[in-house]
């Protein structure tokens, strides 16, 4: 039963019950319609209250229903809302927790609204590439005024009800017992006979044209790749200038068009993909989690310090271990400096800085880690060093403590074997800066126990990370793919492109940063070290040698003031470098390659399809459990454009047949390792399937 019906005195109370967030799917919409009809039929009922629970009044339309027949089946949300608005008995919304999207639109169709002051009120549809499609663009500006409505609808950001207390949206904003307050309002309304409708209210603004004009200019500049924000403004403009029913038509048409766009599909894929990443096929709710109350971090360098901050921010005490006092002091000073910088920007109070620093226990002694429930090491990437750390941990850590390695390249199974408890070992691959980057690859070893994995996935969420499980392989999901992307970028230089052209093409495609600017930021010496290893381990793998030549000049990137680009002191702008351009051209000549003009299209296809192809290998090998996991790694950690949904989703939108055909075209001259289409890609392409179901 998705709506519970009861009466208290002359008030019918309709309580939404559709966990987790009272999404307004077909069954719930039916439940609402039927309960409303029941209340209208019951002569003893004088007024109606619609409530949710403490978590949510309603999180909005059921997004998982979009693009299914249920979405369009009656009663649709607009039908339900219209029925409440038409009700001959007053209806009051009792809002606690969340009132988002369709949930807020439902409340806007009622005659009165009462909210807990902490309730989150918002129209977040734009974040899914949509606009509020059940009257929100028409009723919300009438209730909160034009400017607040534009800001909230275009940004999609919710605000606490308390912030809107002065608007007409709420009859009452209360500190406790919303339901009782709503019942009181219902009884008063039953006596007054008035049935106020938001649709009848006027939108007052001293300069509609001026305000909408400047909003339009700002939105157009900020949302080049997203059609939804401007459509929101169109619909709001209709709310101001046209009769209500006409405005509703404008809104509905825009909603119907937006829901079909690739951008919206990609954003919804990202929403569900992020949540699906936390679900692991063979781990159900019966797996009990281990308790993590205390964490140990080994290594107070850049990585260890950043990792420590994640736990401190979530209120979890950390024992930070270093081998030398000066390194420990430096690490602590850096953490403090980061917090003080946040305080300067007004993000933290001085007191919060001290609170967080107070959660750190510095130590030089492994015995200090005895009480830790989870220990993460962030020491030098070398098996000998890891072996020493894990042998120590095996000796001191309490039974059941989870032992995690932050390795980005080493074999987690081999590391686990340094201990007598491989079931307690896994990888936690944070990305730098670890206190900022959302992505966390959680590496499941052969022996990793289910409860260890489940505990770390839950903890990742608690510390605000987007966690994706990866199997053990060199580079895990993200870096193994990026290596193929970088290889193609290198070949393009040999064949005729320059770094700035490649970067511009990728940035135009939507990447936050092209591969060469990215290399300069991360440090080109890192890739160099990996390639040197590859030359020995995988001699059949071909690489452009240009990157090595750049490194041989000491041009490691921003940190050395020169890399693929030139830099000026105190200025992170990447200036094209004549030295590098000449080096590239000379190298082509040395290879006997006649440089050719390369189109931006070729650059994008070769780099993105290299990701897609390696992603297909990862899926086939079971390193990634599902295509959406790969997409989430790229969206959360590698600056892949969100509106394209990640590499695998993007390949699906291009059509895998087209991807395969392009790869085969580009393979000419690169026969062998560089462009070997993954068997899974070939199979799916040839049978007309896609990566994401
Ligand atoms: C809309 O309303 C369109 C209308 O204007 C017009 C219609 C005609 N639908 O995020 P969480 C699930 S568009 C279906 O982990 P939190 C979610 O998948 C909608 N499912 O928890 C997850 O499932 P699972 C406008 C939904 O506490 C579970 O709930 N609304 C929906 O961190 C828990 O979610 C939005 O855009 C939904 N609407 O955050 C709100 N919402 O457990 C989108 C959640 O199986 N949702 N689920 O993985 C959110 O922003 C967050 O989920 C929310 C809760 C803040 C609600």
DSSP per position, 278-335: T--TT--TTSPPPP---EEEE--SHHHHHHHHHHHHTT--EEEE-SSHHHHHHHHHHH
Confidence class of residue 587 from pLDDT cuts 50, 70 and 90? very high
State the fold for domain 295-470. Answer: Rossmann fold (3.40.50)
Q: Which residue out of 65, 74, 96, 125 is catalytically annotated?
A: 125
Phi and psi dihedrals of 295, rounded to 5? Answer: -120, 150
What pLDDT shows up at residue 669? 72
Q: Are 425 and 445 in contact (CB under 8 A)?
A: yes
State pTM to two decimals.
0.93
Distance from C-alpha of 24 to C-alpha of 81, rounded to nearest angstrom:
11
From ligand 1's centre to the CA of 21, what distance in Å?
7
Nearest to 137 by CA among 198, 191, 224: 198
Class of domain 478-686: mainly alpha
What pLDDT shows up at residue 72? 92
- Contact 97 CB / ligand 1 (< 6 Å): no
pLDDT per residue as tens digits for the range 545-585: 999 999 999 999 999 999 999 999 988 899 999 999 999 99
Is pLDDT above 90 for 619?
A: yes
Q: Are 482 and 516 in contact (CB under 8 A)?
A: no
What does the domain layout of the chain look like in residue ranges? 3-258, 295-470, 478-686
Q: Which residue out of 105, 237, 274, 605 is catalytically annotated?
A: 105
| Structure tokens that stand for 192 in this block | 């007054």
Sign of CA dihedral 532, 537, 539, 543: negative
- Contact 690 CB / ligand 1 (< 6 Å): no
Confidence class of residue 527 from pLDDT cuts 50, 70 and 90? confident
Q: Are 219 and 159 in contact (CB under 8 A)?
A: no
Count the Cβ atoms, other than its own, within 10 Å of residue 519.
28
Q: Are 176 and 162 in contact (CB under 8 A)?
A: no
Dihedral angle over CA of 13, 14, 19, 22, nearest 10: -120
**Ligand 1 atom nearest to 60, measured from its CA:** 2
The mean of the pLDDT values for the chain is 96
- Is 601 an annotated catalytic residue? no
pLDDT per residue as tens digits for the range 99-139: 999 999 999 999 999 999 999 999 999 999 999 999 999 99
Residue predicted with more confidence, 652 or 539: 652
User: C-alpha distances in angstroms, 95 versus 81, 116, 121, 128?
Assistant: 16, 6, 9, 23
- Is 125 an annotated catalytic residue? yes
Class of domain 3-258: alpha beta
- Tokens 């309304």 belong to 189
Q: Out of 112-121, 139-148, 219-228, 620-629, which region has the weakest mean confidence (pLDDT)?
A: 219-228
- Contact 514 CB / ligand 1 (< 6 Å): no
Is pLDDT above 90 for 535?
A: no
- Contact 59 CB / ligand 1 (< 6 Å): yes
- CB burial of 99-127 (b: ≥16 within 10 Å; e: otherwise) equals bbbbbbbbbbbbbbbbbbbebbbbbbbbb
Nearest to 16 by CA among 49, 52, 48: 52
């Amino acid at each position: 039963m998705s709506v519970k019906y009861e009466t208290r005195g002359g008030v019918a109370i309709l309580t939404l019950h559709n966990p987790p967030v009272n999404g307004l799917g077909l069954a719930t919409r039916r439940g609402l319609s039927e309960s409303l009809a029941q209340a209208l039929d019951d002569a003893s009922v004088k007024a109606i209250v619609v409530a949710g629970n403490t978590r949510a009044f309603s999180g909005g339309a059921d997004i998982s229903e979009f693009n299914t027949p249920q979405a369009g089946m009656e009663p649709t949300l607009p039908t339900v809302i219209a029925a409440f608005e038409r009700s001959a008995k007053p209806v009051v919304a009792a809002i606690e927790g969340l009132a988002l999207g369709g949930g807020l639109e439902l409340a806007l169709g009622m005659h009165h609204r009462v909210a807990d002051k902490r309730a989150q009120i918002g129209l977040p549809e734009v974040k899914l590439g949509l606009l509020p499609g059940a009257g929100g663009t028409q009723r919300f500006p009438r209730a909160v005024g034009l400017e607040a409505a534009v800001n909230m609808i275009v940004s999609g950001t919710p605000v606490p009800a308390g912030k809107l207390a002065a608007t007409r949206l709420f009859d009452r904003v209360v500190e406790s017992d919303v339901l009782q307050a709503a019942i009181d309002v219902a009884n008063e309304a039953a006596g007054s006979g008035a049935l106020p409708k938001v649709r009848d209210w006027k939108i007052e603004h001293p300069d509609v044209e001026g305000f909408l004009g400047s909003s339009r200019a700002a939105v157009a500049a900020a949302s080049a790749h997203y059609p939804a924000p401007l459509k929101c403004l169109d619909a709001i403009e209709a709310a101001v200038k046209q009769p209500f029913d006409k405005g509703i038509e404008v809104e509905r048409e825009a909603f119907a068009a937006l829901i079909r766009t690739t951008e919206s599909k990609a954003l919804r894929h990202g929403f569900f993909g992020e949540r699906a990443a936390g679900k692991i096929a063979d781990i159900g709710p019966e797996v009990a989690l281990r308790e993590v109350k205390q964490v140990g971090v080994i290594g107070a360098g850049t990585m260890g310090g950043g990792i420590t901050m994640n736990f401190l921010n979530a209120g979890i005490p950390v024992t930070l271990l270093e081998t030398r006092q000066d390194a420990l002091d430096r690490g602590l000073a850096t953490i403090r400096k980061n917090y003080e910088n946040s305080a300067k920007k007004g993000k933290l109070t001085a007191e919060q800085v001290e609170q967080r620093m107070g959660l750190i226990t510095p130590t030089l002694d492994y015995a200090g880690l005895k009480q830790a429930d989870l220990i993460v090491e962030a020491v030098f990437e070398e098996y000998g060093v890891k072996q020493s750390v894990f042998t120590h941990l095996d000796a001191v850590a309490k039974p059941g403590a989870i032992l995690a390695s932050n390795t980005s390249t080493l074999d987690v199974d081999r590391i686990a074997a340094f201990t007598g408890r491989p079931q307690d070992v896994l990888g936690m691959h944070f990305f730098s800066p670890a206190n900022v980057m959302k992505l966390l690859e959680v590496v499941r070893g052969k022996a990793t126990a289910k409860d260890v994995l489940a505990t770390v996935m839950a903890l990742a969420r608690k510390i605000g990370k987007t966690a994706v499980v990866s199997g053990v392989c060199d580079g895990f999901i993200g870096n193994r793919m990026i290596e193929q992307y970088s290889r193609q970028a290198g070949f393009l230089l040999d064949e005729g492109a320059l770094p700035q052209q490649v970067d511009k093409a990728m940035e135009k495609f939507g990447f936050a940063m092209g591969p060469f600017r990215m290399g300069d930021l991360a440090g080109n010496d890192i890739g160099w070290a990996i390639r040197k290893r590859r030359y020995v381990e995988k001699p059949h793998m071909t690489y452009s040698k240009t990157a090595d030549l750049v490194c041989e000049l000491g041009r490691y990137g921003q940190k050395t003031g020169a890399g693929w680009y030139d830099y000026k002191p105190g200025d992170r702008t990447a200036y094209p470098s004549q030295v590098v351009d000449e080096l590239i051209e000379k190298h082509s000549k040395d290879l006997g390659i006649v440089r050719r003009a390369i189109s931006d299209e070729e650059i994008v296809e070769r780099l993105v399809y290299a990701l897609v192809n390696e992603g297909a290998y990862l899926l086939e090998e079971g390193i990634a459990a599902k295509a959406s996991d790969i997409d989430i790694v790229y969206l959360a950690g590698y600056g892949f454009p969100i509106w394209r949904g990640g590499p695998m989703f993007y390949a699906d939108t291009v059509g895998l047949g087209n991807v395969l055909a392009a790869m085969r075209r580009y393979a000419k001259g690169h026969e062998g390792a560089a462009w070997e289409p993954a068997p899974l890609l070939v199979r799916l392409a040839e049978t007309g399937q896609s990566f994401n179901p």
